[in-house]
Amino acid sequence: MIYDTLIVGGGSAGNILAARLTEDESRQVLLLEAGPDYPTTDSLPADIRLGFGTPSGIIAKSHDWGYTAQATPQRDDLDVPRGRVVGGSSAVNAQIFLRGIPEDFAAWEAMGNDRWTWEKVLPYYCKLENDHDYGDAAYHGDDGPIGVRRYPEEEWGPDQQAWAEACRQAGFPECPDANLPGSTGFGPYPINNIAGVRQSTAVTYLAQARNRPNFHIQAECTTRRILLESGSAVGVEVVRNGKPERFHADETVLCAGAIGTPQIMMLSGIGPESHLREVGVRVSHHLPGVGSNLRDHPTVDLFWHLLFKPTGRFHWHQAGLRYTADGSQMNNDMIVYIGAVPDNAADTEAFLFVRPTLNLAIGQGVLLLRSADIQDQPLLNYRYFEELFDRERQREGIRLCTELIEEHPAFRTVKGEVLQGPGDALNDNAALDQWILANAETGHHSSSTCKMGPPSDPLAVADQSGRVHGIDGLRIVDASLMPDSVRANINATVMMMAEKIAAEMAGEN
């Protein structure tokens, strides 16, 4: 059978694309996913179904690709969790549902992507959400598949209440809706978790679509390469149950994420010619931008001993802080996450977790192949904090969080001794830089490894519709397509991108 559309990756983007495209009964759609498929919400393992209150905490680790990466030369390799399950990373993530801000899309437009202005993406942010708090506002949606809510302050834990009081007295503005354009400061984070259930694209979009006769799902299929004939994509080759299989389609769409998509592209001979030859891949099409421009939100973790024991269903990230670093021209370029972690979430004593994070980094990394074998995970080098401006802002974030938590009276009954922090290095820039480099962490927001842009951009991989430059019948719709990261957790933006491109593919815009 030749499908109309073949989608590789049943995650945040792939499930939305499949659900929207199969609304047209005449279109035959095949969705391929490397991980398992749980066809009902009740059949999901608890750590996938429930976003909070499970032994592994809010980031499920049972269905993970097992990626590791180099953060800096001073640090051991770090884990980069990515969901390997129908639902993708939307089924394992922390469920913070922040949108990108208007300035992010102004930057995308300046890079040659004039169809991705704030005015043109906002309708798709609204289309996908059912905001339980602000759904009647013009800049929100109230009937989309993804349920969104915020914790009212009276439900916050002692850690979140202490953080709010410290931020108030430090002069930061209150921010009741962080998805309000132009907002900043401290307040509740929007989360896509309703009644304890993680609102992944599997339990929302896919649940509405999976029984359609024109929709076909094949799980536990690892895509090995794109099938190319005369400069066109005609399908993919997968490995299932240890055996190769081929599926054919008029159009193939890669939704395998910022790590999986460039890996599949390069294994298919599409990418930087010299690198492909080095690892023994026959070059089909030279595209130097594949795997370059690897973006993330680099961070470091601070820990204090927790003086109270969280009870019941615990919730991280009820509230946080966004602000603009001193001297920065980039609005909201810093974000802080904070939460009380009970002992059953980390198999250790309960602790206060604080994560000052670069919400928009200057530095970028690279993704390369280790070999021509799909079983060899790619080489990820994030190159965190190589840029002086990135280190300067991270220093400021660490000092700000340390001051608020160590000196504000509201934390006296919340935190005890420091479990991880810079110690005496806090007051010495050079020493603090070394501590940052040795303790750098991923923000879990990898993106931009197959960025969209005009053909005049030598590192652009696809056009504004995700169509790969120089290859007919091949499209990309996932975080790899972003020309740069957004100043937010990226899941909501990936969903918006899928909604926007799905509408275009369906002829709606």
Q: Which residue has the tokens 């509230």?
A: 319
Arithmetic mean of pLDDT, 494-502: 98
pLDDT tens per residue, range 343-371 = 655 445 688 999 999 999 999 999 999 99
- pLDDT score recorded for residue 381: 98
- pLDDT score recorded for residue 54: 47
Give me the percent of the chain exceeding a pLDDT of 90.
88
pLDDT for 55 beyond 70: no
Residue 351 belongs to some domain of the structure: yes
pLDDT tens per residue, range 407-438 = 999 999 999 999 999 999 999 999 999 999 99
Q: Say whether 364 sits in a helix, a strand or coil.
A: coil
The CATH number that applies at residue 333 is: 3.30.410.40
pLDDT for 59 beyond 60: yes
Number of structural domains the chain divides into: 1
Is 140 annotated as catalytic? Answer: no
Residue 44 belongs to some domain of the structure: no
Arithmetic mean of pLDDT, 192-212: 95
Tokens at residue 97, please?
């549902």
Residue 80 belongs to some domain of the structure: no
Residue 487 belongs to some domain of the structure: no
Q: Say whether 16 sits in a helix, a strand or coil.
A: helix
Domain extent for 401:
152-188+299-360+383-441
CA distances from 55 to 47, 61, 159, 304, 318 (A): 8, 10, 20, 20, 19
Residue 432 belongs to some domain of the structure: yes
Q: Which of 216, 444, 445, 469 is catalytic?
A: 445
Residue 111 belongs to some domain of the structure: no
pTM of the predicted model, to two decimals?
0.96
Q: What gap in Å lies between CA 171 and CA 506, rounded to an integer?
A: 48
pLDDT for 441 beyond 80: yes
Residue 7 belongs to some domain of the structure: no
The DSSP code sequence of 403-461 is HHHHH-GGGTTTEEEEEES-GGGGG-HHHHHHHHHHHEE--S--B-TT-B--TTSTT--
Residue 322 belongs to some domain of the structure: yes
Pairing, β 129-131 against β 146-148: parallel
